[in-house]
Amino acid sequence: MKRRRVFVDATFVRALLDDDVEKFNEARTVFASLLDEYERGETVLYSHAGMVAAVGGDRTDDLFRVCEVEPVRRQLRRRAWRLVNRISGLDENQAIALLMLRREAIGEIATLDPLYAEMGVPTVC
Q: What pTM did the predictor assign?
A: 0.92
Residues near 89 by Cβ (< 8 Å), separated by ≥ 6? 115
Answer whether residue 109 is part of any domain.
yes
State residue 91's pLDDT score.
Answer: 95
Residue 108 lies in domain:
4-118
What's the total number of domains in the chain?
1
Q: Could you tell me if residue 102 is inside a domain?
A: yes
Q: Is residue 86 part of a domain?
A: yes
Residue 124 lies in a domain: no
Interatomic CA distance for residues 7 and 34, integer angstroms: 11
d(CA 32, CA 53): 23
- Which pLDDT score is estimated for 33? 96
Structure confidence at residue 35 (pLDDT): 95
- What's the pLDDT tens digit per position in 41-70? 999 999 999 988 888 877 777 778 899 999
Task: Point out the residues of the chain with pLDDT beneath 50.
Answer: none
Q: For the chain, what percent of residues have pLDDT higher than 90? A: 73
User: Is 8 among the domain residues?
Assistant: yes
Q: What is the CATH number of the domain that holds 87?
A: 3.40.50.1010
Per-residue pLDDT, 103? 94
